Amino acid sequence: MSGGTPCYKMLDVLCPMHVVLDQSGKIGFAGPTAKKLLPGRSLVGLGFLDIFEIKRPHAIETFEALRQKTGMKLHLRFRDPPHRELKGVLMEGPETGQVIVNLSFGISVADAVRDYKLTSADFAATDLTIEMLYLVEAKSAAMEASRQLNVRLQGARVEAEAQALTDTLTGLKNRRAMDQALEGLVASGESFAAMLIDLDYFKAVNDTLGHAAGDFVLGQVASIMLRETRTRDTVARVGGDEFVLLLREIDDASQAERIARRIINLLSEPMIFEGARCKISASAGTAMSRDYKIVSADQMLVDADLALYQSKKNGRGRHTFYAADLLQPPAEEPAPEIGAPASKQA
């Protein structure tokens, strides 16, 4: 039995998933797609009924019984795992005693295409499976395009949300982000400190050296504050030269004092912008959550602002903790609110 004859070349094109059986029921030739059904093994030389179990029609145990089913639709499956089920039709071959069985995957073709890594070249050109493969490929391409679009949209959404919570000049958190973080800390019940820091003499930098110098100073201030706090803390710019630090898991006032003192000392050092000295200082006020029976975000900010006012009143460049005996600012010089410039000399 030769697969090189015109007859078998024709079968390779018209029904590439066929096998040719000899008089004993052994496979003498397999089409190009049929050869892929047993990865790593050759079908040629194997008994057809040794490989396949005939499910319908029933009671087919011998090749002679199979030969009697010429023209009938067969339901069969591999005897070995994974027992893939196939459809088939059997016809007499051109040579004496030959039987040709044309196989197909039926409705499981999509799984078979995936498992055997088949392409449109593995099916007859007129096989409807070709159309299905085109549809599957189109669907896969559409799903991949949709997935990539969703990834881009998700990335754009995340970026937009990050921008909405970021101060564009310094890269610090903005007022909105600070409010969210503060509410989260209050809800969590953990001990924390809310520290307000206001720059002293910052207006003089803008007035004498210009806004470019002022922007430079704000960038330096942001860098110092980030460096002197921990990654789990929140550092936010909430006004022109006003900042809020939310220091997490702090129950000891001395920890907050050390952080405030380091920042104040560093900010008192002159900053050089294009050869010019930018001289500022900083005042700070802190409220500790441990000092409240019921912690309120708004009240802590008000009290920290009062402590900040006291630092300015006492000469600037210093840090004060809120205490109940702190004097309220006089009516003609009200304590600054978060987001509005604090009272200062310049």
Same domain, 73 and 105: yes
pLDDT category, 328, cuts 50, 70, 90? low
179 is a domain residue: yes
Q: CA nearest 291: which of 320, 253, 328?
A: 253
User: How many Å apart are CA 171 and CA 180, to the nearest integer?
Assistant: 17
**Region 233-262: what's the mean pLDDT?**
95
Residue 250's pLDDT is 92
Mean pLDDT rounded to a whole number for the chain: 85
Say if residue 101 is in the same domain as residue 209: no
When comparing pLDDT for 140 and 69, which is higher? 69
Q: What is the pLDDT of residue 331?
A: 47
Please check whether residue 262 lies inside any domain of the structure: yes
pLDDT tens for each residue of 8-53: 778 888 888 898 998 888 988 888 988 888 888 888 999 988 888 8
Q: What is the pLDDT of residue 265?
A: 96
Is the residue at 344 inside a domain? no
Residues 50 and 183 occupy one common structural domain: no
Whether residue 182 sits in one domain with residue 120: no
Same domain, residue pair 204 and 233: yes
pLDDT > 80? residue 70? yes
Provide the pLDDT for residue 105.
84
Eight-state DSSP code of residue 317: S
- Whether 309 and 255 map to the same domain: the answer is yes
In a shared domain, residues 19 and 52: yes
Residue 334 pLDDT: 44
- Domain of 147 in residue numbering reads as 134-164
155 and 237 fall within a common domain: no
User: In CATH, what number is assigned to the domain containing residue 84?
Assistant: 3.30.450.260
For residue 5, the model assigns a pLDDT of: 63
pLDDT for 267-322, tens place per residue?
999 999 999 999 999 999 999 999 999 999 999 999 999 999 999 999 999 999 99
- Whether residue 4 is predicted with pLDDT greater than 60 in this model: the reply is no
Quick check: is 265 in a domain? yes
The amino acid present at 261, given as its one-letter code, is: R
Q: What percent of the chain has pLDDT over 70?
A: 90
Domain presence at residue 59: yes
Q: Comparing 203 with 160, which gets the higher pLDDT?
A: 203
Helices (H), 166-269: 175-188, 202-209, 211-227, 253-267
Average pLDDT over residues 154-181: 86
The pLDDT value given to residue 344: 39
pLDDT at residue number 62: 87
Res. 246: pLDDT tops 50: yes
| Model pTM score | 0.54
**Whether residues 153 and 104 fall in one domain:** no
| Domain end position, chosen among 126, 150, 185 | 126
- Gap between the Cα atoms of 251 and 79, Å rounded: 72
- Specify the pLDDT at position 210: 93
Are 120 and 146 found together in one domain?
Answer: no
Do residues 67 and 201 both lie within one domain?
no
Backbone dihedral angles phi then psi of residue 225, each to the nearest 5 degrees? -65, -40
Which region, left, alpha or beta, applies to residue 269 given φ > 0 means left and ψ of -120 to 50 means alpha?
Answer: beta
The CATH number given to whatever domain includes residue 292 is 3.30.70.270
Q: Is the pLDDT of residue 192 over 60?
A: yes
How much is the pLDDT for 325? Answer: 83
249 within some domain: yes
Q: Can you give the pLDDT at residue 6?
A: 62
10 plus 61 within the same structural domain: yes
Give the Cα separation of 136 and 129 in Å (integer). Answer: 10
Residue 340 in domain: no
Examine residue 46 and state whether it is found in any structural domain, yes or no. Answer: yes
Number of independent structural domains in the chain: 3
Residue 155 — very low, low, confident or very high, per pLDDT cuts 50/70/90? confident
